Structure 1
Amino acid sequence: MRRSYTQQVEKPTAVGVVDSEANIRNKLNRGKFTAVFLIQCLRAIGASALHLRD
């Protein structure tokens, strides 16, 4: 199921990400954001592990 940007903004806001819907949309569309933002988003969705592959 595809989520709207409004839904994608709600969860990060709950863990302290203070960005507008437009700002988050731009970050995701560009695919360019900080590691801190990535970690905050992972926390917001309840991820307990991150597996990196070579």
Structure 2
Amino acid sequence: MTTGADVLKEHVYGEWEAAARNVIVSAMNDHDIGYKELALRLEAIGISESADQLNRKVNRRRFSAAFMLACLAAIEGE
């Protein structure tokens, strides 16, 4: 059974998850790269995910902080 506290928690985390997604998408837009290019850049640093997998993961807004940092490093070319 879902309680009011569960709904509130989901709402609060939902806002942070949306913000995390927006950070990745904004960085991709700033560097004019799409999911295919992100997949190639991630592969260069040892992370193997297809463009479709990345698209789903980012747009589902359910990913770890480590994944977000790896994406940002790949986008920035670090």
**TM-score normalised by L of structure 2:** 0.48
Residue 45 (structure 2) aligned to one of 7, 11, 15: 15
- Give the number of equivalent residue pairs: 48
**RMSD of aligned alpha carbons:** 2.2
Q: Is residue 31 of structure 1 aligned with residue 61 of structure 2?
A: yes
Q: Whose Rg is larger?
A: 2
Question: Per-residue deviation at 1:6?
Answer: 1.0
Q: 1:41 to 1:20 in 2, by over 3 A?
A: same
Task: Output the amino acid matched with 2:64.
Answer: T
Residue 4 (structure 1) aligned to one of 4, 16, 34: 34
Give the conservation status (yes or no) of the 8 Å contact 1:15–1:43.
Answer: no
- The secondary structure found in structure 1 opposite 2:76 is coil
Unaligned runs of 5+ in 2: 1-28
**TM-score normalised by L of structure 1:** 0.63
